[in-house]
């Protein structure tokens, strides 16, 4: 369901433009911008390819964090604890849980692509950085929890 929504959003946003282009041979008049004393970034330094080396590493990190979370959650369930974000039935179905983790990685890459497409390059990178950090910290938390001991009645 989430993957369907992400694909639908991606298809719909291709038709939306933030600015309209001049039509009918009109040329936009140049606008003089006063020098504010700050360093101006050129358009070439801000643009980059989506699949550049930095994004490759960030996306690999997100995939690794999701994999780490997958195995830490399975370990948590084997020790008798309950998953708090998903139902235990979903986590115990290993194929479904692996698909959910993979979909989470795909949605993160898709969100980064949308941000890249519309020129929000810092947010594009920060999406993967935050996802990597939260996924890793959640997995570490799963390993740090104490094992649930079965209660014995006297």
Averages of pLDDT over runs of 10 residues in the chain (154 residues) are: 56 53 57 56 62 94 97 94 92 96 96 94 95 96 86 69
pLDDT of residue 147: 86
pLDDT on residue 154: 67
| Amino acid 43: pLDDT | 45
| Residue 47 confidence (pLDDT) | 79
Local structure of residue 150 (DSSP, 8 states): P
Q: How would DSSP label each residue in 81-149? A: PPPSSS-HHHHHSHHHHHHHHHHHHHHHHHHHHHHHHTT-HHHHHHHHHHHHHHHHHHHHHHHHSPPPP
DSSP calls for 17-61:
-SSPPP-TT--PPP------SSPPPPHHHH---TT-HHHHHHHHH
pLDDT score, position 23: 57
Q: What local confidence, expressed as pLDDT, does residue 92 receive? A: 94
């Amino acid at each position: 369901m989430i993957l369907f929504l992400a694909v639908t959003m991606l298809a719909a946003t291709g038709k939306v433009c933030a600015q309209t282009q001049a039509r009918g041979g009109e040329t936009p008049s140049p606008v003089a911008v006063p020098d504010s004393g700050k360093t101006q970034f050129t358009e070439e330094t801000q643009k980059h390819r989506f699949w550049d080396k930095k994004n490759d590493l960030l996306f690999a990190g997100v995939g690794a964090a999701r994999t780490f979370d997958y195995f830490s959650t399975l370990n948590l369930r084997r020790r008798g604890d309950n998953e708090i974000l998903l139902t235990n039935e979903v986590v115990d179905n290993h194929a479904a849980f692996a698909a959910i983790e993979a979909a989470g990685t795909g949605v993160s890459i898709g969100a980064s692509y949308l941000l890249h497409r519309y020129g929000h390059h810092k947010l594009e990178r920060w999406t993967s950085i935050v996802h990597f950090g939260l996924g890793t910290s959640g997995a570490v938390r799963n390993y740090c929890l104490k094992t649930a001991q079965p209660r014995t009645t006297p």
